Structure 1
Amino acid sequence: MYENQTFDTILQRMLERIPDTVDKREGSVIFDALAPAAVELTQMYFELSTILSLSFGETTSGIYLDLRAADRGLTRKAASPAQRLGVFYGVNDTPLDVPIGSRYGISGVNYAAVSRISPGNFALVAETSGTVGNLHFGALLPIDYIPGLSRAEIADIRIPGTDTETDEALRERYLTKVREPSTSGNAAHYRQWALEVPGVGAAKVIPLWDGPGTVKVTIVDIERHPATPALLAEVVDYIAEVSPIGADVTVVSAEGFPININATVTLATGYTLPNVQAAFKQAVDDYMKATAFELTYVSYARIGTLLLGTTGVIDYSSLTVNGGTVNVAIQDDYVPMTGTLVLGV
Structure 2
Amino acid sequence: MFENMTFENILEQMLDDVSDELDKREGSMIWNSLAPAASQLALHYVWLENVIELVFFDTAPDEYLERAAKPYGVLRKGATTAVRSLKCLDDKQIRIEVPIGSRFFVESANLYFRVTDSSSETEYQKVECESLGLAGNTDFKGEKLLALDNIYGLATAEIVDVLIPAQDEEDIESFRKRFFVKLQKEAFSGNKEHYKAWAEEVKGVGKAKIYPLAYGDGTVKIVIANSNLEPATAELVAEVKKYIDPDERQGEGAAPIGSKVYVESATWIDIDITGELVLKEGKNINDVIFDITPTLQRLFKEATFADGDSSTIKLAVIANVIFSAPSVLDNFNIMLNGNLGNVTPNENEIPRIGQINFTLL
TM-score after normalising by structure 1 = 0.86
Give the superposition deviation at 1:330: 1.4
1:323 to 2:323 alignment = no
CA RMSD, aligned part only?
Answer: 3.0
- Asked whether the 8 Å contact 2:145–2:158 carries over to 1, the reply is yes
Equivalent AA in structure 2 for residue 225 of structure 1: E
Give the superposition deviation at 1:121: 1.8
1:280 to 2:282 alignment = no
Q: For 1:19 and 1:314, locate their aligned partners in 2 and report how far apart those are by CA, in whole Å.
A: 73
Identity %: 35
The secondary structure found in structure 1 opposite 2:115 is strand
Mapping for residues 11-90 of structure 1, pairs under 5 Å: 29=28, 40-90=40-90
1:206-231 Cα distance to aligned partner (Å, 9 max, x none): 21223322211111111111111111
Q: Which residue of 1 aligns with 2:95?
A: 95
Structure 1 pair 88–186 and aligned structure 2 pair: CA distance change class (3 A): same
Structure 1 pair 10–254 and aligned structure 2 pair: CA distance change class (3 A): farther
- Asked whether the 8 Å contact 1:110–1:128 carries over to 2, the reply is yes
1:227 to 2:232 alignment = yes
1:154-205 Cα distance to aligned partner (Å, 9 max, x none): 1000111122222123223322221111111100110010111111111111
Q: For 2:211 and 2:8, locate their aligned partners in 1 and report how far apart those are by CA, in whole Å.
A: 58
Q: For 1:235 and 1:265, locate their aligned partners in 2 and report how far apart those are by CA, in whole Å.
A: 49
Mapping for residues 244-255 of structure 1, pairs under 5 Å: 244-255=256-267
Q: For 1:272 and 1:10, locate their aligned partners in 2 and report how far apart those are by CA, in whole Å.
A: 64
Between 178-187 and 12-21, the greater mean CA deviation after superposition: 12-21
Q: Which residue of 2 aligns with 1:136?
A: 139
Q: For 2:230 and 2:148, locate their aligned partners in 1 and report how far apart those are by CA, in whole Å.
A: 32
1:29-67 Cα distance to aligned partner (Å, 9 max, x none): 577776665554444333322221221222212111110
- Asked whether the 8 Å contact 1:277–1:343 carries over to 2, the reply is no
Give the superposition deviation at 1:320: 3.0
Structure 1 pair 211–94 and aligned structure 2 pair: CA distance change class (3 A): same
Q: Which residue of 1 aligns with 2:351?
A: 336
Q: For 2:207 and 2:36, locate their aligned partners in 1 and report how far apart those are by CA, in whole Å.
A: 52
1:152 to 2:167 alignment = no
1:171 to 2:183 alignment = no
Structure 1 pair 39–190 and aligned structure 2 pair: CA distance change class (3 A): same
Mapping for residues 4-15 of structure 1, pairs under 5 Å: 5=5, 10=10
- Asked whether the 8 Å contact 2:99–2:118 carries over to 1, the reply is no
1:196 to 2:209 alignment = no
Give the superposition deviation at 1:314: 6.1
Give the superposition deviation at 1:75: 2.4
Q: For 2:340 and 2:10, locate their aligned partners in 1 and report how far apart those are by CA, in whole Å.
A: 58
The secondary structure found in structure 2 opposite 1:69 is helix
Q: Which residue of 2 aligns with 1:292?
A: 304
Between 218-227 and 316-325, the greater mean CA deviation after superposition: 316-325
1:105 to 2:105 alignment = yes
- Asked whether the 8 Å contact 1:88–1:120 carries over to 2, the reply is no
Q: For 2:3 and 2:350, locate their aligned partners in 1 and report how far apart those are by CA, in whole Å.
A: 43
Equivalent AA in structure 2 for residue 283 of structure 1: T
Gapped regions of structure 1 (runs ≥ 5): none
Q: For 2:227 and 2:200, locate their aligned partners in 1 and report how far apart those are by CA, in whole Å.
A: 10
Structure 1 pair 81–299 and aligned structure 2 pair: CA distance change class (3 A): same
Q: For 1:200 and 1:285, locate their aligned partners in 2 and report how far apart those are by CA, in whole Å.
A: 19
Give the superposition deviation at 1:73: 2.1
- Asked whether the 8 Å contact 1:201–1:222 carries over to 2, the reply is yes
Give the superposition deviation at 1:317: 0.7
Give the superposition deviation at 1:233: 0.6
TM-score after normalising by structure 2 = 0.83
Give the superposition deviation at 1:262: 4.0
